[in-house]
Structures are given as structure tokens and as C-alpha cells.
Amino acid sequence: MHNYLIKRLLSTIPVLIGISLLLFFMLRMLPGDPAQVLAGQMATPQEIENIRHQLGLDRPIYEQYAVYMSHLVRFDLGRSARTQNPVIDEIWARLPNTLLLAVVAITLACLFGIPAGIISAVRPYSWIDYLVTLSALFGISMPVFWLGLMLVVVFAVVLQWLPAGGTGSWQHVILPAVTLASFVIAFIARMTRSTMLETLSQDFTTTARSKGLSEMVVIVKHALKNALIPIITVVGLQFGFLLGGAVLTETVFAWPGLGRLLYDSISARDYPTIQGTILIFGLLYIIVNLVVDLIYAFVDPRIHYD
């Protein structure tokens, strides 16, 4: 297991370097002078010169990268061209909100998606299987932001049970979290169903039955324990989807999170914030996947005892 963990941690390094390179070159691919781009449209010539000097944009490219990296490792992401606050502060203020939504959404997804998938797999072609399969199919075909809008219309306008946006109470969390979770619940239900079906058709399930074990024991102790391993991986990957979907959902519900920050900064051409937010999103995703792989190492005996 230690080998696996070390290899996994080491493989993160090239990715981190890759991301930094990606963002580094992204800025320079934009039309115009990078310093001006970073400073924003409102900046004075003096401010532009300051930024040029600060980031070493007048020096050769590899020196620029060195300066860039030295800032990155200190989490100095520059200043927002819009608000002039340090980007890292803007991000830090909003990160908990996005994480809250994401955690609630993923919890909902596992709570509803996994059992739905299991029941569907255990009773294939029954009415409940059709219900789950159809709902899941609808769930992955619906645009997240449209669902959000429709939910707002139904629950906030017509029924007036829940607020249409903003934060404040737990009621404010419901609609955005459900919207964000919809795709993921559907995806996880489908994934669980197909994984369980596959596991239930494997040889060791027949062996378990041949010992006279009850169907419940076969499903839970033998099949599910195996199926959960790939399902955990999928849940981790879906967290990434949530981060992407957060941009859309937070916009619909005026939720003050990282996604909304990204959207606002794209609208305002605030490149330091765009860069910083994308970086943090990428970092979050990498961390989540790393955690999932760690859990994997503990749960799968083939990796654990090697």
C-alpha cells in the first residue's frame, strides 16, 4: 500500500506543474499586453507599469515563470483588477460557501443515488427499476441551470415555500443544493446500478449462493462490498462535476461562492481573479481525487495488503 500511496502522491506533482504552466501560458495567449490585461481596463499607465515590474513581465520568459511560481507557492495570486483586493482574500471569503453546497449535494447524491441504484440492480425490469432508470436518464439529460430556474419558478414564485436566492438560512441552501445534486444523483444511480449488475453476475456471487447464503447476505456482504470500490471512485470524480456545475448554479441562485466569483470576474475581464479561481478549482479537484484514491487504498484489500 505504501508504494501505491507514494506513487499516487508523486503523480500529483507533474499535474500541479502542468496546471501552473497552463495558466501561465493562458494569460500570454490573450490578445494584448499581459500587464495591461492583468491590471484591468480601469488601470492607469503607472499601475500597469507597476504590475509589469512586479511580475517581471519585462524579463525573459523563464524568469517570468520563476517569478510566477514564486508567487504561486506563497498563494500570492495577485490583485483583483475589479476590486483591488488580493485575489486570495476574495477566494477565501467565498470558498466555504461553495464547499457547503458541494458537500450537501454530494451527500444527497450518495444518500439517494446509491440505494436507488442497488434496488434497481437487485430487481431488474421491475417497475421500480424502470422508475429509477428513467428518472436517472432524465436527470443526466437536464441542463442544471434550467432545472434551477424551473425550481425557482415552482418553489419560490408559485408556491413561495423557499427563497429564490441568496444566503441566510438553511432554506436558502435547499434549492441550490438540490439543483446541483440532480445530475450527480442520476449519474451515481446509473453507475451503481450497472456496477451492481456486473458484480452480481460474477462467479464469486454464484459461489456465495451455492453455500446457501440468503439473498440479502449475497447482495450486501458479497456484491455490494465489491461494487462500492468503483462507486467510490465515481463519487470522487463527480465532485469535480459539482465544482463545474457550481458556476452555473451559483449564478442562478445568486449564491456567493467561488463559481459566482468566476462568473463575475469573467464578465468584468478581471484576469487575475479568473486565473486564481480556476487554479483553486483545479487544486480542489486534485485534492478530492487524491483523497478518493487514498480511501480506495484502504478499502480495496488488493491494494491495502501489497
Partner 1 sequence: MSAQTKPLLEIKDLRTRFHTLDGVVKAVDGIDFEVYQGETLGLVGESGCGKSVTALSILQLLPCPPAEIRGRIVFEGKNLLDLDQDEIRKIRGNDISMIFQEPMTSLNPVLRIGEQISEAAKIHKGMTRQEAWRWAVEMLRMVQIPGPGSRSRQYPHKFSGGMRQRAMIAMALSCNPRLILADEPTTALDVTIQAQIMTLLQGLKDDFKTAIVLITHDLGIIAEMASRVVVMYAGKVVEEAPIKALFKDPRHPYTQGLLGSIPVIGRKEHSGRRLQEIPGIVPSPLETPLGCRFHPRCRKVMARCCGQEPPMIRLAENRRVSCWLEA
Partner 2 sequence: MIEIKEDNICKAAEWVPENRFRRSWAKLKRNKAALVGGILLLVYILSAFFAPVLFPGDPSAPNLIRSLETPTLREPLGTDELGRSILGRILYGSRISLLIAVGVVSVGIILGIPLGLVSGYYGGKVDFLIQRVTDTMLAFPGFLLALALVAVLGVGLKNTVISIGISMVPMYIRLVRGCVLSVREEDYVEAARAVGTRDVIILFRHILPNVMVPITVQTSLSMGMAILFAAGLGFLGIGVQPPTPEWGTMLGSARSYLFHAPHVATFPGIAIFLAVLSFNLLGDGLRDALDPRFKI
Q: Find out whether 117 and 191 touch, Cβ atoms under 8 Å.
A: yes
Q: Is 157 in the site for partner 2 (CB under 8 A)?
A: yes
CA distance linking residue 302 with residue 123, whole number of Å: 30
170 binds, among partner 2, partner 1, none (CB under 5 to 8 A by kind): none
As given in the structure block, the three cell numbers for residue 144 are 442544471
Q: Is 206 in the site for partner 1 (CB under 8 A)?
A: yes
Which has the closest alpha carbon to 175: 155, 199, 196, 158?
A: 155
Only one residue has cell 523563464, namely: 62
CA 192 remoteness from chain centre: 19
Residue 228's contacts (CB-CB under 8 Å, 6 or more residues apart) are 299
CA distance linking residue 97 with residue 102, whole number of Å: 9
274 binds, among partner 2, partner 1, none (CB under 5 to 8 A by kind): partner 2
Among the listed residues 44, 46, 211, 267, the single contact to partner 1 using CB under 8 A: 211
Q: Is 126 in the site for partner 1 (CB under 8 A)?
A: no
As measured in angstroms, the least distance from the Cβ of 173 to partner 2 is: 20
Which has the closest alpha carbon to 98: 253, 234, 236?
A: 253
As measured in angstroms, the least distance from the Cβ of 162 to partner 2 is: 14
Among the listed residues 112, 263, 295, 303, the single contact to partner 2 using CB under 8 A: 263
Among the listed residues 113, 274, 276, 296, the single contact to partner 2 using CB under 8 A: 274
Q: Is 267 in the site for partner 2 (CB under 8 A)?
A: yes
Q: Is 173 in the site for partner 2 (CB under 8 A)?
A: no
CA distance linking residue 79 with residue 270, whole number of Å: 9
As measured in angstroms, the least distance from the Cβ of 206 to partner 1 is: 6
Q: Is 225 in the site for partner 1 (CB under 8 A)?
A: yes
As measured in angstroms, the least distance from the Cβ of 193 to partner 2 is: 10
Among the listed residues 150, 220, 291, 299, the single contact to partner 2 using CB under 8 A: 150
As given in the structure block, the three cell numbers for residue 29 are 495567449
281 binds, among partner 2, partner 1, none (CB under 5 to 8 A by kind): partner 2
| Nearer Cβ to partner 1 (293/300) | 300
Residues 180-239 binding partner 2 (CB under 8 A) are 194-195, 198
Q: Is 192 in the site for partner 1 (CB under 8 A)?
A: no
Q: DSSP secondary-structure letter at 169?
A: S
Among the listed residues 57, 248, 261, 293, the single contact to partner 2 using CB under 8 A: 248
As measured in angstroms, the least distance from the Cβ of 174 to partner 2 is: 18
CA distance linking residue 266 with residue 261, whole number of Å: 8
CB atoms within 10 A of CB 171: 11
The amino acid occupying position 289 is N
Residue 280's contacts (CB-CB under 8 Å, 6 or more residues apart) are 91, 95, 258
Among the listed residues 195, 226, 238, 251, the single contact to partner 1 using CB under 8 A: 226
User: How many Cα neighbours within 13 Å face the side chain of 186?
Assistant: 20
